[in-house]
Structure 1
Amino acid sequence: MHTTIGIIGGSGIYDIDGLEGAEWVTVDTPWGAPSDAILTGTLDGVKMCFLPRHGRGHVHSPTTVPYRANIDALKRLGVTDVVAVSACGSFREHMAPGDFVIVDQFIDRTFAREKSFFGTGCVAHVSVAHPTCPRLSEACYTAAVDAGITVHKGGTYLAMEGPQFSTLAESKMYRESWHCDVIGMTNMPEAKLAREAELCYASVAMVTDYDSWHPDHGEVDIAQIIATLTGNADKGRNMVRRLPALLGAERAPCPHGCDRALDYAILTAPDKRDPALLAKLDAVAGRVLG
């Protein structure tokens, strides 16, 4: 099996440098249009697909990002490993603006988004106890270190609905009572959908600010966030450029079972499954649905 790396670029990252044979391709999905066309090509002999999560020009809010279409489109292009890069706020003094955090846990507080490919007519339950892939996360950590980025291994990401930033009371609760490390608006339901699509998923959170809990900051400063975003985007591209060499062109089965997440997940009896829904699941669940 061959590796194909899918990069979902967050705020500030709208392309990848150095792709050979770079081409923006349009992908149709049963779940609607993805956020944008997808930039495809190869880097160091490894296939790459880049999808700007908010669309070029930042046209989608965190709530209106078409998460299901995005994951489905990457799966249709043969992506095996998804690296999600996103801007976030930090609840930890030592996770400073400009640092990266390799997220390994989430608390999902979003409420206005479709969170599953499955439903009435084909019910499935996948495990997201460990929502990111340790193998892929380790590669992202190594790539960040090699790029000279200050990076933290492990952290809990609070996914909020947005688009507003947190109140001071919320920020303190997430930090002090819930023990979260970073906060963002886009990794859920993205991580859950990647698991349903049997894709390895890693989350790289790029810290832009200290949210509103920090006594020396008081509130989120948009101008400062934008300035930090620019620097983070350059760091993010430097990290991404190192991933093909670390992951390699040939790919073995995921040692953590991400690519087999649906083996025992579908509960609806074959004779009770909705043909219309099954048709929409052709890319996501075709391996187990035949």
Structure 2
Amino acid sequence: MTKTKIGIIGGSGIYQIDGLQNAAWHQVDSPWGSPSDAILTGVLAGVDMVFLPRHGRGHVHSPSTVPYRANIDALKRLGVTDVISISACGSFREEMAPGDFVIVDQFIDRTIAREKSFFGSGCVGHVSLAHPTCPRLGDACETAARDTGITVHRGGTYLAMEGPQFSTLAESRMYRESWGCDVIGMTNMPEAKLAREAELCYASLAMITDYDSWHPDHGEVDISDIIATLTGNADNARSLVRRLPALVGAERQPCPHGCDRALDHAILTAPDARDPALVARLDAVAGRVLNR
């Protein structure tokens, strides 16, 4: 048994957790650069909680400039065991309407301008992403959403685009009709990949704000409509988060899906061939396997 520490990565419109006891903001140093912002820690319903605003308070980071590696490394350094990612997205499905939530279970990564791994020359590692989210955490998010009264869809494929521009009509139609995607956003990749490399259980909670540009009755994405929907979604998301500690629990067994053991057989570089400088940067992310 280990002590649970839930990390919430808040997306657009989510800049805090309500009701935290002993709440305090902390600067966390990372060898991968500075995280998006200071990190809020506290206790909610007897469970340790950590909150990181993905875009920074005041929304200062674009999707492409979010320091994804520093964010995940910082959460790992703080002892986070379970990460719930909350983000805004567009929908490719009529039944997945603005205001609904989707518990994402698959991704297609179309980002091109981001560092996507902690590993590289001098310490090569390959983790499995066949199932990139943790079903156990997905269960908790689904129950919390339904208890909150949110319309939630379990399962969906998230198309991660680079942005910051929204899709062309041709792209929107391709992602929906040819690729079979369900939602589209700009921030869950490489976040999910890095969480797996850091052996963190990860769940993605996508808040639908619009129908992208494919829908004949809605036309192009309008940022004013997105902001209006975000306001309601953010209130629902904060209510959902308040229910998570009781569902996840203060103590946890090893992840039944192996998220917390993702590096068991992932590192291929022989110990005597590893770059000491890179190994030092990996102390939090991969120290469990590099130091044994």
Instruction: Report the TM-score when normalising by structure 2.
Output: 0.99
1:283 is paired with a residue whose SS is: helix
Deviation at 1:43, TM superposition (A): 0.3
Deviation at 1:155, TM superposition (A): 0.2
1:284 is paired with a residue whose SS is: helix
1:151 and 2:175 equivalent?
Answer: no
> In the alignment, what sits opposite 2:207?
206
Question: Which aligned segments of 4 or more residues in structure 1 are displaced greater than 3 angstroms?
Answer: none
1:238 is paired with a residue whose SS is: helix
Deviation at 1:198, TM superposition (A): 0.1
1:88 is paired with a residue whose SS is: strand
Q: How does 1:52-131 map to 2 (within 5 A)?
A: 52-131=53-132
1:193 is paired with a residue whose SS is: helix
1:36-81 CA deviation, whole Å, 9 max, x = no partner?
0000000000000000000000000000000000000000000000
Q: How does 1:134-145 map to 2 (within 5 A)?
A: 134-145=135-146
User: 2:288, 2:45 → 1: CA distance?
Assistant: 29
User: 1:138, 1:131 → 2: CA distance?
Assistant: 15
> In the alignment, what sits opposite 1:26?
27
1:166 and 2:167 equivalent?
Answer: yes
- How many aligned positions are there? 290
> In the alignment, what sits opposite 1:249?
250
> In the alignment, what sits opposite 1:186?
187
Q: Provide the identity percentage.
A: 84
Read off the aligned partner of 1:31 and give its amino acid letter.
W
Q: How does 1:3-14 map to 2 (within 5 A)?
A: 3-14=4-15
1:12-56 CA deviation, whole Å, 9 max, x = no partner?
000000000000011000000000000000000000000000000
> In the alignment, what sits opposite 2:226?
225
1:156-186 CA deviation, whole Å, 9 max, x = no partner?
0000000000000000000000000000000
User: 1:225, 1:23 → 2: CA distance?
Assistant: 30
Read off the aligned partner of 1:261 and give its amino acid letter.
A
User: 1:247, 1:103 → 2: CA distance?
Assistant: 18
1:113-141 CA deviation, whole Å, 9 max, x = no partner?
00000000000000000000000011101
> In the alignment, what sits opposite 2:273?
272
Deviation at 1:88, TM superposition (A): 0.1
User: 1:24, 1:136 → 2: CA distance?
Assistant: 25
Deviation at 1:221, TM superposition (A): 1.0
**Contiguous gaps of at least 5 residues in structure 2:** none
2:217 is paired with a residue whose SS is: coil
User: 1:235, 1:129 → 2: CA distance?
Assistant: 30
User: 1:190, 1:164 → 2: CA distance?
Assistant: 20
**Contiguous gaps of at least 5 residues in structure 1:** none
Read off the aligned partner of 1:53 and give its amino acid letter.
R
Read off the aligned partner of 2:66 and give its amino acid letter.
V
Read off the aligned partner of 1:119 and give its amino acid letter.
G
2:176 is paired with a residue whose SS is: helix
Read off the aligned partner of 1:14 and give its amino acid letter.
Y
Instruction: Report the TM-score when normalising by structure 1.
Output: 1.00
